[in-house]
Structure 1
Amino acid sequence: MSLRRKLPFIKRAMPIILAALLAPGIASAFSPFVVRDIRVDGIQRVDAGTVFSYLPVKVGEKFTDAQAAEAIQRLYATGFFSDVKIDTTNDVLVVTVKERPTIASVSFNGMREFDAAALNKSLNTVGFGPGRVFDQAMLEQAQFELKQQYLSKGKYGVEINPIITPLPRNRVGVSFDIFEGDRAEIKQINFVGNKAFSQSTLEDQLELTTSGMMTWYTGTDKYSREKLEGDLERIRSFYLDRGYLEFSSEPPQVSISPDRTGIFLTLTLHEGEPYKVRSVKLAGDLLGLDDKIQKLIEVKEGETFSAAKSNATVKAITDYLGSLGYAFANVNPNPVLDREQHEADLTFYVDPGRRVYVRRIQIGGNTRTRDEVVRREMRQNESSWYDSTSIKTSRDRIDRLGYFNEVNVTTAPVPGSADQIDVNVDVKEKPTGLINLGVGYGSTDKVILSAGISQDNIFGSGNSLSLQVNTSKTNRAAVLAHTDPYWTKDGISKTTSLYYRRTTPYQTSSSDQGDYRVTALGGGVNFGVPISEYDRIFTGISYEHNTIDLYNPPQAYQDFVDQYGRTTNSVVFNVGWSKDTRDSALAPTKGSYTRVSGDISTMDLRYYKLSAQQQYFLPLGRSFTLALNGTVDWARSYGSKPYPIIKNMYAGGIGSVRGYEGASLGPRDDRTGDYLGGARRIVGNVQLYLPFPGATRDRTLRWFVFADAGQVAAGNGLTCMNYKGAVTDPCGWRYSAGIGLSWQSPMGPLELSFGRALNAKEGDDKQAFQFQIGTGF
């Protein structure tokens, strides 16, 4: 019996033992008599009727020495009293008690690891808390429970000292002074019994690790009982996925160093032998869908058994039946083992249950957001057959709104009906208004200051309204935008925006510092039309007024003013298509993103531009992701004037071709050397994301190796201008490769890269180390 279990037993047994020891003395104190009255002395909070209910005698009944001993035992056993005496005076039974004090409050000093409410809840489970009777045994049990909570977090050096403060009316205040100490670090992890897989292979499956370079950040070297249990389950899944159907493990051995700061883990495994699948069968009620269900089986005969494939088959069949209205389908895989041949006959037993339809969809938890904002994202209809695919899609669409911290979709049978269910959508709203002030830094744009105010769910309508302002070395911008995601009931969105932008030149360190300023004022309306869950067509129109101020300008900008004038006006029409199947916008590991668009400008600036971007994210195992990106932009003018230089595109630096100075690829002004960009841009990137050492479970902290390629050309039949012939082939292809780090830091996205220009030409501006933190608009 553990100490934790012994304490309550000791507490109950001690009063009975004491009463038994006292009983002989009481028995000799009086002769049996008929009780004329009963008096209780010493009670303060306990009701007299409570004492009477525990006495084995009533007024008018005969009272004996055996009943006296029994009365003492009963009253001690209540736990209410620290002392009980029984006397008799003129046939009056006098019960004198001394009440135990009541706990008035429980507090914790020096606690940082836990929330006080959580610890109080834990203490209540062992009967210790405000309003409970106080005694020393219960205090020791509470102290033991608190220590167990800290040990489960790996804090073996914790010290807990209770302080008892007497209070009026026989009450006490209990305060626990806690010195938490440091969490014990894992010094060593040992596997015993592993033959098929090496120590390092098994360690890769664990979340807990020994101390490493990044464990200060990840905390994976800090022992936790919950994490260890999770790791044991990962090891079990690892073996089952490789056919070890008889795998088992013994309870882990956890030892601690004498100074209580180091943990040593020993995991004893019994691997068994891997099993191959001899046969795969379906059984149960298949609803005549044998052929279609058979196609969902991922486990193949002759291959090594895989629990992952078996579970994937169960999910596929369950989801398929759910999409047909069988909301409570049950699929059980049952492998029958041939231990001599190490083969398994696998049978999937299918029980579809009853087909049901949705009676009602109920929205709850939305105090500010209107019901229609949630309902219009639902792809499951009322009075229709239940469809698990539509339910999942609906849940994901509601979550992507960004208005809620939690979205839970559950189903409940309708009472009295065997074929109806209700779908309950419970949301937990979060603040959707945001005021932000930010400071970022980029190796090209230098300091980036940003500020903004936005409301993503204004008045609970699902519409968004925002004002963003930012400034950097080369750009200043202010954007006011309003978006109605359901401008029509069919889900056509409308975005209205007004903007101000001011751009100054990207300059080389060796240029003559040509100076100019381009100021753009404009506004536009854009519409998005969904054509599937992932595809969207967009179109819009915008108006823009540009003003150019020249101060010893580049020759190219002087030529632009000579041809177009100092001010220009343009109306731009745009149309495009996008498709997004990425699993995350912050740190995608699989899926793709495609965008194709075209712009045509009229009035003073007559040009058209075509743009295309394609991204692929391919998971390579559990921790590696290969990212491919390609971008093409091509523009030219129509009419008698050349393509407007103020609409040129740039490349170089983070976001395009690393290893080269930002915006440095392509033509340069032949008088000042300023970077001019071009009307044609092609950029390609290959990037392999790898887990950061010690941070394999943090998807937002990754390092990567990359290779970039890019080209910026003048286009539109223009020559590739060059500053005094300083750069060889400025419009040619440039390549680079290197390593980097990306992290979604509390200050914003951080990217560091160290790139080497692979084919740099004479005069190229190279920049090996580049970084950017914060977000600019």
Structure 2
Amino acid sequence: MPASRRAPVLRPTVLSLALAAALQAGSAWAVEPFVLKDIRVEGLQRSDAGTVFASLPFRIGDTYNDEKGAAALRALFATGLFKDVRIDIDDGVVVVIVEERPVIAAIDFVGLKEFEKDTLVKSLKDFGIGEGLPFDKALADRAEQELKRQYLTRSLYGAEVVTTVTPQERNRVNVTFTITEGTAAKIKELRIVGNKAFSEGTLKGLFDLNDGGWLNWYTKADRYSRSKLNADLETLRSYYLNRGYLEFNVDSTQVAISPDKQDITITINLTEGQPYTVTSVKLEGDFLGKEEDFKTLVKIKPGEPYRAEAVTETTKEFGDRFGLFGYAFARIDARPEIDRANGRVALTLVADPSRRVYVRRINVAGNTRTRDEVIRREFRQFESSWYDGQRIKLSRDRVDRLGYFSDVSVDTTEVPGTQDQVDLTFTVKEKPTGNLLVGAGYSSADRLSLTASIKQENVFGSGNYLGIEVNTSRSSRTLVISTVDPYFTIDGISRAFDVYYRTNKPINSRGEQYQLVTPGVAVRFGVPFSEYDTVFFGLGAERTEIKGTNAMPNNLYLYRLQFGESSNSFPLTIGWTRDERDSALVPNAGSYKRVNVDWTAFGNTRYLRTNLQYQHYWPITRQYTFAVNAEMGYGKGLAGRPYPVFKNFYGGGLGTVRVFDQGSLGPADVTGAYVGGNRRVNVNSELYVPVPGAGNDRTLRVFGFLDMGNVWGESEKMTTDSLRASAGLGLSWISPVGPLKLSWGTPVRKKPNDRIERLQFQIGTAF
């Protein structure tokens, strides 16, 4: 054979055709098989030669032929590192000549406003476009289409994307996406056709999308999104199915956009069908001999309209109940028997428990920072125990409530080769748990307050909390250092340490230049008695100094005159909480209960101080919530000593009885200063409704309120005639700078000397 011969250059687009032609037709370029003397690689700039050698299907000493050459070309192109590859044969030596693809040095965006740059960079990386990756024109085109798709999700149908590739030294390129975003297309008209039982306005009110809300500048509810429309259609479907319309159907959905891509018209065609009433509910199948027990779980009763929500809830309850007995794969089918002539439906619930299983192993995945033990100690389902659906759900909820993860999921997989074993995998997605905050707040009572804090809820992945907090305001300044070990013992008893320094100036009408200074330390323990109940107890030591001389309130002056400027106390704290709310930030259902007692038996200050609180939320509808909050405080001096005045309760303003000036309720001394009292009662009721035009956004709501309460001194009698009351309207907004609460009202019951402040607000505080 000739001393030197070049094998054909096979482009990736014609590789298979060229190879087939060579093999079938006996191409003149075919190479007679020979034994390899050596292999050389030419053209490498950044890639490692080992990458090339690892892709070759032959080694020195092997017999080389055309099939192996074609396989080598395919393997090298498959790496995605090379723009061109060819093989030359030189006297028994294979020479692999490569032309590397340029590497992306930088990605930039011009004209970007709608998205954060990091969001798009992460999205493009999924398509193979990222810094340090080989550049491919085909992938760049796909990335361009992906960017346009991202803009379509924001109703920016006129967005244009132009890709510019700028060569750099050392075979690198910069990729720049120049974007002309344009203006967002808005829903001009939303129509529902075919409805008879319910008005179009009622049905459109269920949607998050709308065609004319005056708050759309904030909610962006007039921006079309296919996912949002699908969610609204499911809401519409649920609305009908929960009112007996068993055969309801959305026939079609037409979305039309104007030629200038600025206006969108949505038309929804539906068929309501007729409403059905449930005549009977029967159980069939294997209910483990516990039919009566399962019947108590049925949420829909004969004589009521058919409600799909109740049927779904019932089948879920059945599945959970089977799970209690270890049946992880129970199937429950709801089979309706429809009588169209009479508008009736008979429901049959058929159960197949399948087989009982136990959990062989529980795996934890996704935690790169948090230790396994921090997650595992929250589990209520154990390995080598019968499968218990309720305990598994409780375990997932407890891990989620840690607050360290943005997502927690549980997957159940069967163990191969067995019929009665499953493995559980808890997959978590970690989120940042550190918080560095520097902020400011403003309230009608405290004026400007500054807040700075550094907190870490999961120190070194141990699950422990460490925080330093500084707060300043006109009436109160605080420095607190806290640490919490939620599992001080293996049984879940928590331990917390607090070191604090507080200064307080009671709010009154004279503007006194005095203050109460209270440094202290405390340790407390929390004992969980159930999944919702926790009992706290602890011991503290604090010293309170009454400083200042100018225009001091008479009660403080007399207390200091009798007992001295400084008071030492060692309060023993006992408390109980039960939190069953569905959300701590914007609750819609559930209740919260709290009892806290401080008792000092040592030191020169002896007192008993009790706080009781009860909250309850009733969801009237998806958008309307009624809430009641009741609080009572009581303090009493012990061992023949009076109740210390610096532990008094205060009332009036946000958090107690609105409309009345902050801290102005209760007794006033001869100087006119509001001195508070040893007893306090306040009851707040609120009805939350959505802001017109805001749709179902629960972070922005208006509310009507009715408050009642007062503060009483030791020498005063608590009577209903002395209660103050107010009513009004308010706005609650979880704003970017913090929760805002604004209220305006009028007194319903007041006394001539009461101080009224109709408009009150607070922003920048934490719940």
Same fold per superposition (TM over 0.5) = yes
Q: 2:518 aligns with which of 513, 517, 520?
A: 520
- State how 1:276-355 maps to structure 2 within 5 Å: 276-355=277-356
- For 2:533, the equivalent position in structure 1 comes to 535
In 1, the alpha carbon distance for the partners of 2:483 and 2:348 equals 56
Determine helix, strand or coil for the equivalent of 1:320. Answer: helix
Deviations 1:642-695 (A, max 9, x none): 22111111011000011011000011121x312111111001100111112233
Larger Cα-atom Rg: 1
- For 1:648, the equivalent position in structure 2 comes to 648
- For 1:241, the equivalent position in structure 2 comes to 242
Q: Does 1:758 align with 2:748?
A: yes
CA RMSD of aligned residues (A): 3.3
Determine helix, strand or coil for the equivalent of 2:385. Answer: coil
Say if 1:592 and 1:616, in contact at 8 Å, map to a contact too. Answer: yes
Deviations 1:219-263 (A, max 9, x none): 111011221122222222221222222222222122223432111
In 2, the alpha carbon distance for the partners of 1:190 and 1:241 equals 22
The alpha-carbon distance between structure 1 residues 569 and 141, as it changes in their structure 2 partners (threshold 3 A), is closer
Q: Does 1:626 align with 2:621?
A: no
CA apart distance, 1:395: 1.1
Say if 1:332 and 1:349, in contact at 8 Å, map to a contact too. Answer: yes
In 2, the alpha carbon distance for the partners of 1:439 and 1:259 equals 45
- Please identify, of 38-47 and 219-228, the stretch whose mean Cα deviation from structure 2 is larger: 38-47
Say if 1:563 and 1:641, in contact at 8 Å, map to a contact too. Answer: no
In 1, the alpha carbon distance for the partners of 2:140 and 2:650 equals 72
Q: Does 1:51 align with 2:56?
A: no
Say if 1:515 and 1:554, in contact at 8 Å, map to a contact too. Answer: no
- State how 1:115-134 maps to structure 2 within 5 Å: 115-116=120-121, 118=123
- For 1:711, the equivalent position in structure 2 comes to 710
Say if 1:712 and 1:731, in contact at 8 Å, map to a contact too. Answer: no
CA apart distance, 1:539: 1.3
Q: Does 1:462 align with 2:463?
A: yes
CA apart distance, 1:207: 1.5
CA apart distance, 1:625: 1.0
- Structure 1 residue runs of 5 or longer lacking an equivalent are 1-37, 62-100, 721-728
- For 1:182, the equivalent position in structure 2 comes to 183
Say if 1:678 and 1:712, in contact at 8 Å, map to a contact too. Answer: yes
- For 2:504, the equivalent position in structure 1 comes to 503
Deviations 1:322-365 (A, max 9, x none): 12111111112121222222222222221212111111222222
- State how 1:369-384 maps to structure 2 within 5 Å: 369-384=370-385
Identity of aligned residues (%): 45
- For 2:658, the equivalent position in structure 1 comes to 658
Say if 2:276 and 2:343, in contact at 8 Å, map to a contact too. Answer: yes
Paired amino acid for 2:571: V
Determine helix, strand or coil for the equivalent of 1:593. Answer: strand
Paired amino acid for 1:502: T
- For 2:41, the equivalent position in structure 1 comes to none
The alpha-carbon distance between structure 1 residues 528 and 104, as it changes in their structure 2 partners (threshold 3 A), is closer
Q: Does 1:251 align with 2:252?
A: yes
- For 2:689, the equivalent position in structure 1 comes to 690
CA apart distance, 1:558: 1.1
Q: Does 1:545 align with 2:543?
A: yes
Q: 1:748 aligns with which of 735, 738, 749?
A: 738
Paired amino acid for 1:739: L
Say if 2:381 and 2:392, in contact at 8 Å, map to a contact too. Answer: yes
Deviations 1:38-70 (A, max 9, x none): 999887787888624246632489xxxxxxxxx
In 1, the alpha carbon distance for the partners of 2:329 and 2:485 equals 38
Q: Does 1:446 align with 2:444?
A: no
- Please identify, of 660-669 and 110-119, the stretch whose mean Cα deviation from structure 2 is larger: 110-119
The aligned length equals 684
In 1, the alpha carbon distance for the partners of 2:655 and 2:461 equals 36
CA apart distance, 1:507: 2.3
Paired amino acid for 1:636: K
Deviations 1:741-774 (A, max 9, x none): 1122222221111121122222211111111112
Say if 1:505 and 1:516, in contact at 8 Å, map to a contact too. Answer: no
- Please identify, of 149-158 and 623-632, the stretch whose mean Cα deviation from structure 2 is larger: 149-158
In 1, the alpha carbon distance for the partners of 2:652 and 2:223 equals 43
Deviations 1:614-656 (A, max 9, x none): 1111111111111111111111213443221111110110000
Q: Does 1:563 align with 2:562?
A: yes
Say if 1:711 and 1:731, in contact at 8 Å, map to a contact too. Answer: no
In 2, the alpha carbon distance for the partners of 1:358 and 1:531 equals 26
The alpha-carbon distance between structure 1 residues 324 and 104, as it changes in their structure 2 partners (threshold 3 A), is same
Give TM-score scaled by structure 1 length.
0.81
CA apart distance, 1:608: 1.2
- Please identify, of 746-755 and 152-161, the stretch whose mean Cα deviation from structure 2 is larger: 152-161
In 2, the alpha carbon distance for the partners of 1:581 and 1:292 equals 26
Paired amino acid for 2:417: G
Say if 1:667 and 1:731, in contact at 8 Å, map to a contact too. Answer: no
Say if 1:666 and 1:730, in contact at 8 Å, map to a contact too. Answer: no
CA apart distance, 1:122: 7.0
- For 1:15, the equivalent position in structure 2 comes to none
The alpha-carbon distance between structure 1 residues 771 and 166, as it changes in their structure 2 partners (threshold 3 A), is closer
- State how 1:43-122 maps to structure 2 within 5 Å: 51-54=18-21, 57-59=25-27, 109-111=110-112, 112-113=114-115, 115-116=120-121, 118=123
Say if 1:505 and 1:515, in contact at 8 Å, map to a contact too. Answer: no
CA apart distance, 1:382: 1.5
Deviations 1:457-511 (A, max 9, x none): 2232222122211111011111112211112222111112111111123122xx3
In 1, the alpha carbon distance for the partners of 2:317 and 2:238 equals 19
The alpha-carbon distance between structure 1 residues 762 and 110, as it changes in their structure 2 partners (threshold 3 A), is same
The alpha-carbon distance between structure 1 residues 251 and 175, as it changes in their structure 2 partners (threshold 3 A), is farther
In 1, the alpha carbon distance for the partners of 2:16 and 2:312 equals 61
Paired amino acid for 1:655: G
CA apart distance, 1:367: 2.8
